[in-house]
Structure 1
Amino acid sequence: MLNWEERRQLVKVATLYYNDGWTQEQIAKKFGVSRPVISKSLQKAKEVGIIEVFIKDESVHTVNLEQSLEKKFNLTDVVVVSISSLTPDMITQSVAQAGAYYLSKKMKGVKTIGVSWGTTLSALVNEYPYELREGVKVVPLEGGMGRKRVEIHANQIAYELAKKISGTCSYLYAPAIVETQELRERLMGMQDINEVLEEGRSADIAITGIGNPYKVSTLEMIGYLQEDEIAQLKKMGVAGDMGFRFFDQSGNTINNLLDKKTIGISLEELRNIKMVIAVVAGSHKAESILAALKGKYIDVLITDEQTATLLLQDE
Structure 2
Amino acid sequence: MMMDNQDKIKTALKVCHLYYEDGLSQGEIASKLAISRPTISRLLQFARDQGLLRIEIMDPLKDLDVLAQQLEAKYQLKKVILIFDATNDLDAINPKIGAAAADYLETIVKDNDSIGISWGETLENVANHLHPSNANNVSVVQLKGSVSGSEMNNFANDIINKFSNAFHTDAVNLPLPVIFENATTKQVVMQDHFIKAIIQAGIDANIALFTSGTVRDDAMLFNLGYLTDPEIKQLQAQAVGDVVSRFITATGELADSDIDERTVGIPLAALRDKEYSILVSGSSWKVASIRAALLGGYANVLITDSQTAAALLD
Partners in 1 of 2:89 and 2:261 — Cα distance? 37
Residue aligned with 1:169, SS: coil
How far 1:57 sits from its partner (Å)? 4.0
Stretches of structure 1 lacking an aligned partner (at least 5 in a row): 1-53
1:102-181 matches, within 5 Å, as 102-146=104-148, 148-150=151-153, 152-153=155-156, 156-181=158-183
Contact preservation (8 Å) 1:240, 1:247: yes
> Which residue is 2:275 aligned to?
274
The 3 A distance-change label for structure 1 pair 60 and 226 is farther
Structure 2 length-normalised TM: 0.76
Number of the residue aligned with 1:58: 60
Letter in 2 for 1:152: F
Structure 2: 5+ residue stretches without partners: 1-55
Q: Is the 8 A contact 1:138 1:159 kept in 2?
A: no
Contact 2:282–2:308 (CA under 8 A) maintained in structure 1: yes
> Deviation of residue 86 (structure 1)?
7.2
Task: Find the residue that maps to 2:258 and give its secondary structure.
Answer: coil
Q: Which residue of 2 aligns with 1:20?
A: none
The CA distance in 2 between the partners of 1:279 and 1:164, in whole Å, is: 19
Alignment CA distance shift 1:247-1:133 (3 Å): same
Q: Which residue of the partner structure matches residue 24 of structure 2?
A: none
From 68, 71, 74, the counterpart of 2:70: 68
Compare CA radii of gyration and give the structure with the larger one: 2
Question: Which sits farther off after the overlay, 292-301 or 224-233?
Answer: 224-233
Shift of 1:304: 0.6
SS in 1 for 2:91: helix
Shift of 1:196: 0.7
Query: Structure 1 residues 97 and 216 mapped into 2: Cα distance closer, same or farther (>3 Å)?
Result: farther
Of residues 263-272 and 187-196 in structure 1, the stretch that sits farther from structure 2 once superposed is 263-272
Q: CA deviation at 1:132?
A: 3.9
The AA in structure 1 aligned to 2:216 is Y
Q: Deviations over 1:270-309 (max 9, x none)?
A: 2222220000021111011111111111000000111111
CA distance in 2, matches of 1:70, 1:215: 31
Any idea what SS the aligned residue of 1:178 has?
coil
Cα deviation, 1:204-242, whole Å, max 9, x if unaligned, reads 10001001122641112333344322221133x212211
2:226 pairs with 224, 227, 237, which one? Answer: 224
Counterpart of 1:16 in structure 2 is none
In 2, the alpha carbon distance for the partners of 1:181 and 1:86 equals: 38
Residues 96, 127 of structure 1: 8 Å contact kept = yes
TM-score (normalizing by structure 1): 0.76
**What is the aligned length?**
258
Q: Hey, what's the Cα distance between the residues in 1 that align with 2:61 and 2:218?
A: 29
Compared with structure 1, are the counterparts of its residues 149 and 105 closer, same or farther at alpha carbon in structure 2 (3 Å cutoff)?
farther
Aligned-residue Cα RMSD (Å) equals 2.1
Instruction: Verify the 8 A CA contact 1:143 1:263 in the aligned structure 2.
Output: yes
Structure 1 counterpart of 2:213? 211
SS at match of 2:184: helix
Structure 2 match to 1:96: 98
Q: Which shifted more, 75-84 or 56-65?
A: 56-65
Q: How far apart are residue 109 of structure 1 and its match?
A: 4.1
- Aligned position for 1:14: none
2:18 corresponding residue in structure 1 = none
Indicate conservation of the 8 Å contact 1:142/1:264, yes or no: yes
> Cα 1:148–1:160, aligned 2, differ >3 Å: closer, same or farther?
farther
CA contact (8 A) 1:115 1:206 kept: yes
1:85-137 CA-partner distances (Å, limit 9, x unpaired): 57431111111111111111111245210001211001100111223434101
What's the counterpart of residue 245 of structure 2? 244
Q: Secondary structure at the match of 1:129?
A: coil
In structure 2, relative to structure 1, the CA distance for the partners of 1:149 and 1:234 (3 Å cut) is closer
Q: Which amino acid aligns with 1:148?
A: E
What amino acid maps onto 1:296 in structure 2? G
Write the distance in 2 (CA, Å) between the matches of 1:87 and 1:275.
27
Which one-letter code corresponds to 1:221 in the other structure? N
